[in-house]
Amino acid sequence: MHDDPGETELEEELRRVAARFEPVPPVLLQAALDAYSWRTADAELAELVFDSLVDRDEAALVRGGDDGRMLSFHVGGLSIEVEVSGTGASRRLIGQLVPPQQAVVDIRHGGDVATLETDELGRFSSGTLRAGPVSLRCSTGEEANRRRVVTDWILI
Amino acid sequence: MEPEEAARLARAAADGDPAAWKALVERFSGLVWSVTRGYRLGSADAADVFQTAWLRLAEHLGRIEHPERIGAWLATTARHEALRIARSTARLVPVDDVTLLAFGQADENSPEQAVLDTEQAVLDTERAAMLWRAFAELSARCQQLLRVLIATPPPNYAEVAAALGMPVGSIGPTRARCLQQLRNVLVRDDVSESASSAHNKEK
């Protein structure tokens, strides 16, 4: 053992030990590098403005219950409302664009993209997804005035 | 990393420079990992939180108000996601630490392995193991704080404050107290230490 190491010395030693016993897993370093390729520079970003997990009391008031997790993303007059259900490692999303409008929705998830079309009221529903980060990319309007929106990544 | 350099990298990455993104990952992944590990999440959840923080940053590049504080932004994002997941009952799945162990295995030719090889030469393995065991005995709060402080490369205090959701001013005193707690455990465990120093043991 060192002779009474100073605080900084002990901290530096601990840093080396932590780097050895608890390094950033290489697969996660790679995942962080890969995150860059998911960037959609040409789309508007709909930010998460409501999450019943965090704003639970408010959610209970609005919905009168707390089954399923409610999320709301918003940008420039468009909202994307999503309900997340499922337990363990499987999840399912049911959502709607507000104001209601038809759109193509890409579910970006687990390194993959699943494309689906909403009904005329902007409603959509995913298949079974594994728990993990997810983001929606929506494309609305006619070719001439196409609008592209991506949501914040969230962990479901 | 100087704040100006962090801001420059953030802007370059926003403009489509993958080398700048890589530099950001190298600079801040240790910090983000230390935050996620501080919440005692299962390994799958910790991995998801880590990944979500980086995915979110990728979409927010160029929209971040203070790019010079991008490290604090990442740390805050990771902390919020970790807290969120800790509240999610849907996430109550068995902890799978076997996966974590597998994550920890650096592959042989990686830079991580090179670091390990070098460290192995300079660091007494027994002492390292003893230190890590002592660390595991600290209070949850001390482990959480120290984990962030000892991230590689070292974060600045603003980043540590963001990672822990505590004011910058209370980091120094808490750090001192936690390091003292660690030293007390080390003294207790070290048979060569005199009985008098063991009296200083703090509960």
- Nearest CA to A26 out of B124, B114, B122, B131 is that of B114
- Nearest CA to A29 out of B12, B196, B112, B16 is that of B112
How far apart are the C-alpha atoms of B25 and B39, rounded to whole Å?
21
Domain membership flag for residue B126: yes
* pLDDT on residue A58: 54
- pLDDT bin (cut points 50, 70, 90) of residue B110 is low
- Nearest CA to A53 out of B31, B13, B88, B158 is that of B88
**What is the CATH code of the structural domain delimited by A42-155?**
2.60.40
How far apart are the C-alpha atoms of A34 and A135, rounded to whole Å?
15
Cβ contacts from A onto B, under 8 A? 161
How far apart are the C-alpha atoms of B82 and B40, rounded to whole Å?
9
Helices (H), B2-96: 3-14, 18-37, 43-60, 70-87
Domain membership flag for residue B158: yes
Q: Which residues of chain A make contact with B137, given a CB cutoff of 8 A?
A: none
Domain membership flag for residue B130: yes
- Predicted ipTM beyond 0.95: no
Average pLDDT (B134-150) is 95
Q: At residue B178, does pLDDT exceed 60?
A: yes
Domain membership flag for residue B203: no
Element (H, E) at A15: helix A7-21
Give A48's Cβ-side CA count (13 Å radius).
22
How far apart are the C-alpha atoms of B75 and B37, rounded to whole Å?
12
Determine whether A28 is exposed, middle or buried from the number of CB atoms within 10 Å of its CB (0-12, 13-18, 19+). buried
Domain membership flag for residue B144: yes
Q: At residue B39, does pLDDT exceed 70?
A: yes
Q: Does B128 touch chain A (CB under 8 A)?
A: yes
Q: Does B147 touch chain A (CB under 8 A)?
A: yes
Domain membership flag for residue B42: yes
Q: Position B174: which residue type?
A: T
Domain membership flag for residue B56: yes
Q: What percent of chain B has pLDDT over 90?
A: 60
Give the burial string for B33-71 (b: 16+ CB within 10 Å, else e). bbbbbbbebbbbbbbbbbbbbbbbbbbbbeebeebbbbb
Total number of domains in chain B? 1
Minimal C-alpha gap between B203 and chain A (Å):
19
How far apart are the C-alpha atoms of A25 and A29, rounded to whole Å?
6
- pLDDT bin (cut points 50, 70, 90) of residue B85 is confident
**pLDDT tens digits, residue range B54-68?**
999 999 998 988 999
- Look at residue A142 and give its three-state secondary structure: coil
* pLDDT on residue B99: 38
- Nearest CA to A8 out of B161, B67, B150 is that of B150
Of the residues A53, A87, A130, A155, the best mutation for testing chain B's interface (the one with the most B CB atoms within 10 Å of its CB) is A155
* pLDDT on residue B153: 94
Domain membership flag for residue B47: yes
Question: What are the pLDDT tens digits along chain A (156 aa)?
Answer: 333 458 889 999 999 999 999 999 999 999 999 999 999 878 999 999 999 988 876 545 554 445 689 999 999 999 999 999 998 889 999 999 999 999 999 999 988 899 999 999 999 999 899 999 999 999 998 878 899 999 999 999
**Domain spans of chain A, in order of start:** 1-38, 42-155
Q: Which residues of chain A make contact with B110, given a CB cutoff of 8 A?
A: 26
- pLDDT bin (cut points 50, 70, 90) of residue B120 is low
Task: Measure CA of the first residue to CA of the last residue in chain B; give whole Å.
Answer: 37
Residue A125: count other Cβ atoms within 10 Å of its Cβ.
14
Q: Which residues of chain A make contact with B133, given a CB cutoff of 8 A?
A: none
